[in-house]
Amino acid sequence: MFRCLAGLLIVCAAGAMCAEQPVAFPHDKHIKLGLACIDCHIGADLRDRATIPSVQKCMLCHAKLLRNDAEVKKVIGYADKGIEIPWVRVYGFSTDAHVKFRHEPHYRAGIACATCHGDVAKMSVAEPVVKHDMGTCLTCHRQRNGPQDCAACHY
Ligand code: HEC
Ligand code: HEC
Ligand code: HEC
Ligand code: HEC
Ligand code: HEC
């Protein structure tokens, strides 16, 4: 597997492209601080969408911390202008596929983030290392008694 380097488009595992992100946000360094996934992705346990944190969340620390770091300067730049960081999505489905995915039931069933997203704690920017398609959903649903009717996953 190739690592994603800021400023480059590189083919990742699973054949997908690593997105070039506006800020090289290091997951690994933040997890080492003791932050949990759901401290930033606040919907991943109880809601449909995990969500990406607002730049205001970053500023809770970076208003004071590492202000002279080149990447952190970009973060502060967005916050000063009052705009969100335009993160490029890593996972997701085309709207044509009419898929509805909800995090909450999966969290309740005790499925780890890493099962569907890989070991993000060791990544810098998130990489699409796990394939999400109808086959991967159904394989687990057959094993774990998840729903298999079309209407459960499609609208
Ligand atoms: C709880 C405090 C905290 C929050 C919240 C936080 N950071 Fe950090 N961030 C840190 C600390 C501490 C470091 C330094 C970690 C290290 O060097 O090991 C860091 C490092 C970084 C770096 C890398 C600097 C470098 O060159 O190594 C970037 C970029 C960054 N943060 C961006 C963000 C963004 C974007 C957000 C919001 C999504 C965010 N941070 C939220 C505390 C925080
Ligand atoms: C059963 C598989 C599965 C598990 C478990 C899972 N996710 Fe996801 N996650 C997905 C899928 C599928 C998407 C894309 C959903 C979409 O775009 O409709 C996604 C999207 C996301 C996104 C993008 C923002 C969003 O809300 O769409 C984040 C961030 C995320 N997941 C974080 C997490 C975290 C953190 C955990 C663990 C608490 C987790 N996920 C557990 C499958 C999973
Ligand atoms: C300090 C806040 C922070 C923490 C803690 C954090 N993330 Fe993230 N996460 C982000 C930001 C910012 C992005 C957008 C940049 C990117 O894609 O790497 C992101 C992106 C993601 C994505 C890609 C979402 C998409 O579809 O675009 C996944 C999956 C994800 N994180 C999972 C996790 C998991 C799993 C953990 C815990 C091991 C975790 N994150 C911890 C801030 C955080
Ligand atoms: C690793 C296993 C696993 C994977 C992968 C997985 N699921 Fe699930 N899913 C489950 C389990 C277990 C349940 C049942 C939870 C329950 O009954 O409480 C479930 C429940 C659901 C439900 C029903 C939610 C509700 O309202 O009760 C939907 C919809 C769903 N999954 C969609 C998906 C989609 C779409 C994907 C692929 C993108 C997917 N799942 C991938 C294990 C998985
Ligand atoms: C467990 C969840 C799940 C169930 C159940 C499920 N699907 Fe899907 N389906 C998906 C996901 C996720 C995708 C998107 C795959 C992708 O983007 O690669 C998809 C894609 C599709 C597509 C392709 C759409 C496109 O854009 O080309 C069709 C057609 C489809 N499903 C039909 C069905 C039918 C018919 C059933 C019932 C027999 C069904 N699906 C049951 C999750 C599910």
Instruction: For ligand 4, atom 25, name the residue with the nearest CA.
Output: 105
| Residue 27 Cβ contacting ligand 1 at under 6 Å | no
In a domain, 13, yes or no: no
Report yes or no on 48 lying in a domain: yes
**By three-state DSSP, how is residue 17 classified?**
strand
Q: Is the pLDDT of residue 11 over 80?
A: no
User: Does any domain span residue 66?
Assistant: yes
pLDDT beyond 50 at 2? no
Does residue 42 lie within any of the structural domains? yes
Q: What is the pLDDT of residue 1?
A: 30
Q: What is the per-residue pLDDT for 18?
A: 60
- Ligand 4 close to Cβ of residue 153 (< 6 A): yes
State how many domains the chain has. 1
Cα 144 to middle of ligand 1, angstroms:
37
Would you state the pLDDT for residue 20?
Answer: 87
Task: Classify residue 2: in a domain, yes or no.
Answer: no
The mean per-residue pLDDT over the stretch 111-131 comes to 96
Percent of the chain with pLDDT over 70: 88
Helix (H, G, I), strand (E, B) or coil at 11: strand
pLDDT reported for residue 4: 42
Residue 122 within a domain: yes
**Is residue 78 within 8 Å of 85, Cβ to Cβ?**
yes
Number of neighbouring beta carbons within 10 Å of residue 116:
17
pLDDT at 126 over 90: yes
Report the Cα 145 to chain-centroid distance in Å: 26
| Structural domain for 121, as ranges | 23-95+103-131
pLDDT tens figures, 74-87: 999 999 999 999 99
Q: What is the identity of the amino acid at 69?
A: D
CA of 97 to the centre of ligand 5 (A): 7
User: How many angstroms is it from 37 CA to the middle of ligand 3?
Assistant: 7
Residue 136 lies in a domain: no
The pLDDT value recorded for residue 15 is 42
Judge whether residue 125 has pLDDT over 70: yes
Alpha helices, H only, the chain: 27-32, 37-40, 55-62, 70-81, 103-108, 113-117, 134-144, 150-153
Instruction: Tell me: pLDDT of 150 over 80.
Output: yes
Predicted confidence at residue 19, as pLDDT, reads 67
